[in-house]
Amino acid sequence: MLRNTSSGYGRIAIAFHWTMAVLIVGMLAFGLYMTTLPPTAAETFQLYQLHKSVGFVVLTLAVFRLGWRLVNPSPKLPEGMHPLEKLAAHLGHAGLYALIFAMPITGWFMASASPWGIPTVLFNVQPVPHLPVPDALGTKEQAEAFFKILHKYGAFLLIALVVVHVAAALKHHFIARDDTLKRMVSTAPAKGDS
Ligand code: HEM
């Protein structure tokens, strides 16, 4: 059953959440690791290609997830939360959504702007076209450097938001002792549901 009542998430929303959580945390660690490798090594090239491929999987999932969420609104936040806490939670979630789109898109622009003109081939099978890079960004080197900065600081911001997100989920579970985390793990009816 695709449960999505006012107090719970459905199976699809839960599957999107955890699949994307694993992929995004993995991509953050993978991205930081691969940039420490010797840039001209063949293995580095393969790892960059894998990073780009998984990034497109994240972008595709993000599109479907947002579409799903628009049709199946998320359950309300717990009643006992302070209005400022609720505002912070909504802003945090909006920031996470923005960054799961911004990370792949800035990465795609970075690869498109690169003076090396390296093609992106998804999982070594499906070529992806380069995006048109605005002339206003200057030479290819300048445009690539611009998107590299966005991608890098976007990653740092995403790491910060993920840390706060996880801390908030744990606070709900262990301190407030409400169903916020449980309902993102299971579709079983929460306490007080009829
Ligand atoms: C969820 C999606 C993504 C995440 C979380 C992510 C994360 C990261 C991180 C953390 C880095 C290291 C940043 C640094 O220290 O400079 C990185 C580097 C990089 N990413 Fe991504 N990335 C994503 C998607 C993509 C996509 C879709 C592409 C290209 C199509 C891409 C291309 C690159 C490239 C080329 C680098 C290396 C930059 C350099 O050489 O300094 N990324 N990414």
Residue 6 lies in a domain: no
Residue with tokens 């947002």: 66
pLDDT digits over 174-187, tens only? 999 999 999 999 99
Closest CA to 88 of 77, 103, 100: 77
Confidence of residue 188 (pLDDT cuts 50, 70, 90): confident
Q: How many domains are there within the chain?
A: 1
Q: Return the residue whose CA atom lies nearest to atom 32 of ligand 1.
A: 107
Whether 67 is in a domain gets the answer yes
Query: What is the distance in A from the centroid of ligand 1 to the CA of 87?
Result: 30
Query: How far, in Å, from the CA of 104 to the mean position of ligand 1?
Result: 8
Residue 4 domain flag: no
**pLDDT the model gives residue 6:** 54
Return all residues near 11 (Cβ < 8 A) that are at least 6 apart.
1, 2, 3, 187
| pLDDT given for residue 3 in this prediction | 41
Q: Which domain holds residue 121?
A: 11-184
pLDDT digits (tens, 9 = 90+) for 134-158: 999 999 999 999 999 999 999 999 9
Average pLDDT of the residues in 2-12: 69
Residue-wise pLDDT tens digits, 85-97: 999 999 999 999 9
Q: Would you say residue 139 lies in a domain?
A: yes
CATH number at residue 117: 1.20.950.20
Look at residue 194 in the predicted model and tell me its pLDDT: 42
Stated as kind and residue range, the H or E segment containing 121 is strand 120-122
Phi and psi for 49 in degrees, rounded to 5?
Answer: -65, -40
Q: Which of 51, 100, 116 is the best mutation target for the ligand 1 pocket, counting ligand atoms within 8 Å of the beta carbon and taking the most?
A: 51
Asked whether the predicted pLDDT for residue 72 surpasses 70, the reply is yes
The pLDDT-based confidence of 112 (bands split at 50, 70, 90) is very high
Judge whether 193 lies within some domain. no
| Residue whose token pair is 């953050």 | 28
194 domain-assigned:
no
Protein residue with its CA nearest to atom 14 in ligand 1: 152
User: Would you say residue 192 lies in a domain?
Assistant: no
Long-range contact list for 143-149, CB < 8 A, 24+ apart? 143/109, 143/113, 144/110, 144/113, 144/114, 144/115, 146/113, 147/106, 147/107, 147/109, 147/110, 147/113, 148/110
Dist. CA 77 → ligand 1 center (Å): 33
Question: Do the domain assignments include residue 98?
Answer: yes
Is residue 191 classed as helix, strand or coil in its secondary structure?
A: coil
